[in-house]
Amino acid sequence: MKLTVLMTLTTLVTCAPATSQRQPAPVRGFTVVATFPHDPAAFTQGLVFADGQFYESTGLNGESSLRRVEIASGKVLQEIKLDNEYFAEGLALVGDELLQLTWQHHRGFVYDRKTFAQKRTFPYKGEGWGIANDAAAGLVMSDGSDTLTFLDPKTLAVSKTLRVRDAGRPVPQLNELEWVDGEIWANVWMTDRIARISPATGEVNAWIDLSTLWPLSQRQPPADVLNGIAYDKATRRIFVTGKKWPRVYQIAVQ
């Protein structure tokens, strides 16, 4: 009996699958390269760099808008307001069109990049939070969960979904998105952290902790959390801001 038990235990030990504990993604520091004025009334939901300017989507019912903004001054150069029923969310540039999500209406708007004329709408399931496009990598969308949805840039049909993990743990509340050098960068709502996500595996490669960028102790209501990432691919400049923040920051990640 002892031999049988010993052999059984030995077999179990020998056949047990080897497991490796993945370490949590490292946290990277940052430096501020420059600061620029930002409309403190703008509840930033999406931020895009193009044509040397920002395109910005702002949220809240009755305050939602699409804007074109001069970077150096923060001046709003062009703007349209959404109907009061809509709570605007993420923003992406696809060719000559701007795609803007809404929070709970399951509807996105497509605008002409130059005139801001609305060309059409498109449906999607679930909530709309963040959206980002890269000419090579494609279009990706968040819905506030731990899952990213990839869309065909031409048809906007779902091509695949990807669950985001850090050391095996789900990363929920994924919000504003941006493609940066082959990674998906995602604000995590209610935090001042950005997850740098592998689009192949969904694993978080690294975190950027921006809680000291504009410390909580210096914020006055209704200033809210970090939300807004824009990337200038040509010069590799990274811009970040937040909901009703008075500044946009250009940062370098260490």
CATH number of the domain to which 199 belongs: 2.130.10.10
pLDDT of 16 > 70? The answer is no
Structural domains of the chain, count: 1
Q: Is residue 68 part of a domain?
A: yes
First to last CA, the chain: 61
What's the whole-number average pLDDT of the chain?
91
Q: Is residue 168 part of a domain?
A: yes
Q: Is residue 9 part of a domain?
A: no
With cut-offs at 50, 70 and 90, classify the pLDDT of residue 228.
Answer: very high
Q: Is residue 133 part of a domain?
A: yes
**Structural domain that includes position 56:** 36-253
Q: How many residues does the chain have?
A: 254
Paired sense of beta strands 27-28 and 204-209, if any:
parallel
Q: Is residue 28 part of a domain?
A: no
What pLDDT score was predicted for residue 8?
34
Write the single-letter amino acid at 82: L
Buried b (16+ CB within 10 A) or exposed e, 177-200: bbbbeebbbbbbbebbbbbbbebe
Q: Is residue 143 part of a domain?
A: yes
pTM of this structure: 0.89
What pLDDT score was predicted for residue 104?
96
Q: Is residue 19 part of a domain?
A: no
Strand order in the sheet with 97-102: 88-94, 97-102, 107-112, 118-123
What pLDDT score was predicted for residue 10?
33
- State pLDDT tens for residues 173-216: 999 999 999 999 999 999 999 999 999 999 999 999 999 999 88
- State pLDDT tens for residues 54-108: 999 999 999 999 999 999 999 999 999 999 999 999 999 999 999 999 999 999 9
Q: Is residue 10 part of a domain?
A: no
Distance CA 158, CA 235 (A): 31
